[in-house]
Structure 1
């Protein structure tokens, strides 16, 4: 006899109605009998049903031109390599236009070089001045290069 729980977790948190049907038609060997209790959720399912509130949209544009603010994220080491055999990724998002660059890297220490080659010439042509950046990955290996560059 199973009371809302063990088999539910073992089967990947499927609904209890589905477990009941599986047992009724003998589709799973060794599935214990089910005592169905309505409106009873496990902790994981309860958290999964909760809705996360989103941030309110701004009614104004905080940037006045392209490349004024960039959001940069370096991710990896990924388990699966890209088609080119690379395991890291550098994501750069232009806050003004939401234009996004995703560059795959063999090593994460190449991120500053890619940034320097790709973004800086564009920023000088479009803005003629330094740009602002936000990074979400505080463990960036080249973070000191970025900081030193922006200070200059």
Structure 2
């Protein structure tokens, strides 16, 4: 579940809000490797330089009954919306969309 921030522990010690817990404030702890890894961010994905090379395809539902698949060309940002009866139709509809392009 993690641990308290060093500065928070230090502040609690200075304000005497912690009783019965020995706190060694002589040196700050080294960086916690788990915290460092947990705060890493993803490297941005470079945009494609040609139309049609990559498109994002989220599948969304509306009140759990109807589905739509939004397709956005990564290069041009041109959007398409495809209606789906159920999620299982997504792959075949995507193939049909790619053939029609």
**TM-score, L = length of structure 1:** 0.38
**TM-score, L = length of structure 2:** 0.50
